[in-house]
Each structure stands twice: as structure tokens, then as C-alpha cells.
Amino acid sequence: MTRDGSKTPERLIGIHPVASALRQHPEQVRRLVVAEGAKNRRVRELEAQARKLGIAVESRPRAELDRDSGGVRHQDVIADFEAGNLFTEKDLDRVLDGIEGTPLVLVLDGVQDPHNLGACLRTAEAAGVHLVITTKDRTAGLSAVARRAAAGAAETIRLLLATNLARVLRRLKERGIWLAGAADDAEQGLHDVDLRGPLALVVGGEGQGMRRLTAETCDYLLRIPMQGTVSSLNVSVATGVCLFEVVRQRTNS
């Protein structure tokens, strides 16, 4: 936040995040910066689209974009973006009240790799998740790398940053949303559980999985049946498998 109470714009880096923002939420794009002499057709299309929408467009030396992107591949385009899809704990009830249909929430407990975070957001958006909850601490954060991996989902899907995850999980339960935790050592298999009702899928971070308190707060734990010799899946892959089992069950019902 700035001193006058307004939000500090975030930086979208690369063609996919910028294109998604211009398509989904052009009113939240504050400025487009394009590298001088950029010849990429898609970049020029984005520039023309921004001008048509009345968004300020600046042409800067590519070296400035290199500096401002912090090492992330910018593809000759950067945008200043004032996100309207980011929430805090105090917004939880309001966000839940706005969900149409049977709620589907994804909870990420300590995903620390920005590529995994972005991939989880991308999968969640594709699966129709209404809200993604992650922690303010022990998490990758919505960095430029995570946004790029999300391929546009980070600008559209509702994302809530929890200071106290256990408190948020308890509130979900009070709102009638069941908590299903993904754990390698769970007794119940993914395909043996009815996932058609109001649901929050809880997934732990890389290596350690869910924290003990998080797992204890869940209503039940489930595991993905493994047929090969590997003992576990990458967190973003496991998230996708679980979410689309929910989609399958809800579609077939």
C-alpha cells in the first residue's frame, strides 16, 4: 500500500501474463512498457490493444526491461498491474458468499517453489476452483516467476493470503466446507472418497507435505493410488490429479 492508501501496482512480466491481464481485467492494467525496436508480433498486438483501451504505453531501452524484470525473461513487454483478485483473512466470508454453485477451494500449505505455485494456480483455474488459499509465510509468494508459470491464472483466480492457516481452515469448516488433505500415507484412496460436496483440497509443500496441525484440522486424508515404483508426485502434479478427480465426480453426478 502507498501512503495515500492506494494499492501498489504489481509487475507483470512476459507475453502470457500481460495478455491475460489485458483480456480479463484491462481496468487493472496501469501501464505497458515495451522494449524499443521490439519486433515480436504478439508484443505489437498487445501494444495496440493497450492503446485502444486507453492504457498508457511507454517505449524503453531493452536494458531497462532487463533490469526491471529481475532476471525473468520479459519477452520485450512488462505491465504495471493493480490486482483485484488478492484477498486477506478478513475477506474470507465475503469471498465465500460470492461463490456460485458448490464451493471448490484449494489450500496450499507451504509450497515454496514459485514454479510449483504457478503451476498449481494454472491447474486450479482450469479445474474451476473458486478460491486458492496460501500462507503469507513459508510460501513462494506471487512473484514474477510464479505469475509466468501460472500462464495468466495468477491474474484471474481468487487468491487469499492467510496469516493463520489453522484459523482459516476452521472457518471453512464452520461454513460447511469439508477439508480433504492429500497425504502419501493416508488410508483412503482418492477414488474411494465422495468429493462432490463443498470441498477444500489441502495440499502440503515440497518434501515435508502438510504441517501436523494442518493435517489434524482436515476432516479426512486421502492418497493418490500409485502403480509404479516412485513414492510420490510433484506437488503441482498431485494437485492436478486430485482436482480433476473432483471435476470427474461432479461431472458424472
Assigned domain for 160 exists: yes
Task: Supply the pLDDT for residue 231.
Answer: 66
Residue the block writes with cell 472457518 = 171
Assigned domain for 225 exists: yes
Assigned domain for 75 exists: yes
Examine the fold and report which residue of 49, 65, 81 is the final residue of a domain before the chain moves on. Answer: 81
Output the domain CATH number for residue 147.
3.40.1280.10
Residue type, 218: C
Give the residue numbers spanning the domain of 204.
86-252
Assigned domain for 117 exists: yes
For residues 40 and 29, give the distance between their C-alpha atoms in angstroms, rounded to a whole number.
21
Same domain, 58 and 140: no
The 10 Å CB-count burial string (b at 16+, else e) for 41-54 is eebeebbebbeeee
Q: Are 235 and 116 within 8 A, CB to CB?
A: yes
Assigned domain for 3 exists: no
Q: Are 23 and 153 within 8 A, CB to CB?
A: no
- The count of domains in the chain is 2
- CB-CB neighbours of 3 under 10 Å: 5
Rounded alpha-carbon distances, angstroms, from residue 217 to 84, 195, 226: 30, 18, 25
pLDDT tens, per residue, the chain with 253 residues: 333 334 557 888 999 889 988 988 899 899 999 999 998 999 999 999 999 999 999 999 999 999 998 888 899 999 998 888 899 999 999 999 999 999 999 999 989 999 999 999 999 999 999 999 999 887 888 888 898 889 888 888 999 999 999 999 999 999 999 999 999 889 999 999 999 999 999 999 887 889 999 999 999 999 999 887 776 789 999 999 999 999 999 998 7
Examine the fold and report which residue of 81, 102, 117 is the final residue of a domain before the chain moves on. Answer: 81
Output the domain CATH number for residue 17.
3.30.1330.30
Task: Supply the pLDDT for residue 7.
Answer: 54
Task: Supply the pLDDT for residue 5.
Answer: 36
Same domain, 145 and 30: no
Q: Which of 92, 62, 83 is nearest to 169 (CA)?
A: 92
Same domain, 206 and 232: yes
Same domain, 122 and 77: no
Same domain, 175 and 228: yes
Same domain, 72 and 97: no
Same domain, 237 and 187: yes
The DSSP annotation for the chain comes to --TTSPPPPEEEESHHHHHHHHHH-GGGEEEEEEETT---HHHHHHHHHHHHTT-EEEEE-HHHHHHHTTTS--TTEEEEE--SSEEEGGGHHHHHHT--SS-EEEEEES---HHHHHHHHHHHHHTT-SEEEEESSSS--S-HHHHHHHTTGGGTS-EEEESSHHHHHHHHHHTT-EEEEE-TT-SEEGGGS---SSEEEEEEBTTTBS-HHHHHHSSEEEE----SS-----HHHHHHHHHHHHHHHHHH-
